[in-house]
Amino acid sequence: MACFPVMASDSDRKPDLLGGRGYPRQSMGFPQQLEMAREPTGALAVGDAPEGYLVRQYESRDRDAYLELFHLAFEASDPLPDVLATRLDSGFFIIEHGDSGILAASCVAQVKPRARYPEGGELGWLVADPAHSGRGLGTLVAALVTNRLADEGYEQAYLLTEDFRLPALSIYLKLDWRPNLFQDDMEGRWRAIFASLDRPFDVADCYNG
């Protein structure tokens, strides 16, 4: 599952979860998450973190701070046992705000085989603190994970997301992740998303299954 927070209050850093994980999709009548995939097409150009921010790997001392960041976007109680069991080496990226020590963004390269992606390279749990928005932190960690999956040699990596995660979807498309039209309703859902993002949609740019 991949995500970017949608709404938040800077005063308490507590977002509106839009009814809770999964509920927006279900209320729209969509039982399946969206899927995107990406073939290795050369390393993405990744710049340095903005001044005052540090990119590093997750450490055990980050547990509480990571869960605080995670819960800005997700309701799952504690993803860490699964994440730590499935992460690629050097694949759990954290961006730390140097002055405050707050974890401002994170994303994970994971090994999670699925029927459509038997190799199992997944971009998972993209999250960024809205209090640090406007600095490209979500794009940076997603690009780092994308490159890490490519470095590992996955012929086709994947991610899971939701229709209402427009900021995250915009990031993924910018990084050349492509929609997978694996069932009949996907084309219509993606057309609506592209229209919301003011982007042209072309079936030829998508995967099919």
Using one digit for the tens of pLDDT, what is the confidence trace for 66-78? 999 999 988 778 9
| Domains annotated on the chain, with CATH | 36-178 (3.40.630.30)
DSSP reduced 3-state for 51: coil
Q: Are 15 and 118 within 8 A, CB to CB?
A: no
The model's pLDDT over 133-165, given as tens digits with 9 standing for 90+, comes to 999 999 999 999 999 999 999 988 999 999 988
User: Sheet holding 34-38: strands in order across?
Assistant: 53-57, 87-97, 103-111, 121-128, 157-161, 34-38, 178-179
Rounded to two decimals, what is the model's pTM? 0.87
